[in-house]
A and B are shown apart, each in its own frame.
Chain A
Amino acid sequence: MGILHWLFSWETLAAFLTLAIFSFLYKENPVYRLAEYLFVGLSAGYGFAMTYFLAMKPNLMDPFIIPIMQRLHLLGGELLPINWWYIIPTIFALLYLSVITPKYSYLIRLPFAFLLGLGSGMAIPRAFQASILEQMWDTILHSPNWQGYAELSKQYEWSLTVVFISAIIIFVSVLAVLAYFFFSKEHKGAYGKFARFGIIVLMIGFGASFGSTVMARYSLLIGRLMFLLKWLHIVSY
């Protein structure tokens, strides 16, 4: 009974699917392909149900579509108030359905245009502030007074000397990286040497990214191995 229970459990199914994907390490095979297609199908189905319950229904259908249908006696239930402003997003959202008919599928560009235009417009000032101004301010100055550096020294638990030398290194290195990416001026002479320093900074940065990434890659594998060992009752966590 115990073994049968184990064999026909959700965990066994999960373990079988884990091994099915691992079988790709040997070579591509039908079991792997089947698991791959199952994954794509399930993800899409899961995505639809979640989007319906958590976004489509509460944020668009409840404020407008459902109350209208209730008043047309197409739907029952407790009468919901109509938010008339939502007629605008409703029209745009319904245009997504034009994808079903190839003849009118170009109408899908309208909701795209709404979202893309608004998104791009809103991004301009904010991205300027977050990715450029704040970063430049910290690179050039970090703080207009000593207090700021003292706080940094406390936060990082570095001595004030290290904080200052680091601030100078950051300033020069950021400039060098930007110089490397600036192709309007030929990389020759003193400028070329400075841009070359930029490559060195870039390599250190890529090395740091790689070093960190290795941990991520192994963590994922450990996760699956821990699961398999738990399934086999070799470990308990």
Chain B
Amino acid sequence: MFFSRTLPMILVFVMGVIGASLYFIPHPSAQALENTLSQWSIAIGSFAIFLAITSLIRRYITNIKRGKEVVYNLVALISLFGMALLGLINGTGPDSVFQKIFINVQVPLDATMFSLLGFYVTSAAYRAFRARNVEATLLLLTAILVILGISTIGDSQTWLRDLQEWIMNVPNLAQKRGITIGVGLGMIATSVKIILGIERNWMGG
């Protein structure tokens, strides 16, 4: 109980108070301590990859054992170990096989997966983007003005570009700023809740 709940909560509180208070102490030793803690965080954080990899491997092995999509899970498992070992043993230089696989296998897979959104956004615009009421019409008109102004059409039609830049830097800025202030307050509230032990979801279970 002490190691599983109390100690983590004490630690989160102590680290939180130290983290927040060091900002207000300009003395070099306080700044040095803040730097040291940041460096330690980088070091500790690097081992977090074990958590990600372990849970991934565990999932694939469980699926294989249960006979669920064996081929797919095997492919994932083999490519995981293959790529990691290739990098660790053969090196990660710019001309290495590791970097070649990254550029010619991983990059096209990732990039193409997201490029599908180009098709979906068109289809969605055709089917769902309707000027049903004042708000939707306003959204639609702003979107069209921004699309035109930001495109190469705005290069020759300077009034469109000027209008788009004004929209971006005045009403859009005001909207984003309202949200940023709200999000900032929310972030601070969440941080305080974590430090004081009110928010404990991070401990899981």
Decide if A and B touch, CB cutoff 8 A. Answer: yes
Q: Say what secondary structure dominates the interface of chain A.
A: helix
Query: How many angstroms between the C-alpha atoms of A95 and B173 in the bound complex?
Result: 45
Whether a CB of chain A sits under 8 angstroms from the CB of B17 is yes
Find chain A residues with CB under 8 A from B165 CB: 156
Interface residues on chain B, size class: 35 or more
Instruction: Count contacts on A: residues with CB < 8 A to the other chain.
Output: 116
Contact of A124 among B52, B73, B177, B188 (CB under 8 A): B188
Find chain A residues with CB under 8 A from B12 CB: 113, 116-117, 120
Whether a CB of chain A sits under 8 angstroms from the CB of B126 is no
Give chain A nearest CB distance to B119 CB in angstroms: 6
Contact of B171 among A11, A136, A169 (CB under 8 A): A169
Whether a CB of chain B sits under 8 angstroms from the CB of A224 is yes
Find out whether the CB atom of A121 lies under 8 angstroms from the CB atom of B17. yes
Query: How many angstroms between the C-alpha atoms of A125 and B34 in the bound complex?
Result: 14
Find out whether the CB atom of A42 lies under 8 angstroms from the CB atom of B181. no
Find out whether the CB atom of A45 lies under 8 angstroms from the CB atom of B23. no
Find chain A residues with CB under 8 A from B48 CB: 96, 111
Query: How many angstroms between the C-alpha atoms of A21 and B69 in the bound complex?
Result: 19
Known contacts A88-B40, A99-B50, A125-B23; A181/B169 CB under 8 A = no
Known contacts A22-B112, A24-B116, A210-B139; A201/B50 CB under 8 A = no
Known contacts A46-B102, A49-B98; A119/B41 CB under 8 A = yes
Give chain B nearest CB distance to A94 CB in angstroms: 7
Query: How many angstroms between the C-alpha atoms of A208 and B172 in the bound complex?
Result: 7
Query: How many angstroms between the C-alpha atoms of A15 and B108 in the bound complex?
Result: 8
Known contacts A45-B87, A51-B46; A170/B11 CB under 8 A = no
A/B interface sample: 17 pairs, CB < 8 A: A17-B112, A34-B75, A36-B109, A38-B79, A43-B106, A46-B98, A46-B106, A49-B88, A86-B40, A96-B51, A117-B15, A117-B16, A120-B12, A169-B170, A174-B177, A198-B178, A208-B172
Which B residues have a C-beta under 8 Å from some C-beta of A? 3-4, 7-9, 11-24, 34, 36-37, 39-56, 69, 71-73, 75-88, 92, 98, 100-119, 121, 134-136, 138-147, 150-151, 165-185, 187-188, 190-192, 194-195, 202-203
**Pairs A-B, 5 closest by C-beta atoms:** A121-B19, A205-B175, A49-B87, A177-B178, A45-B83
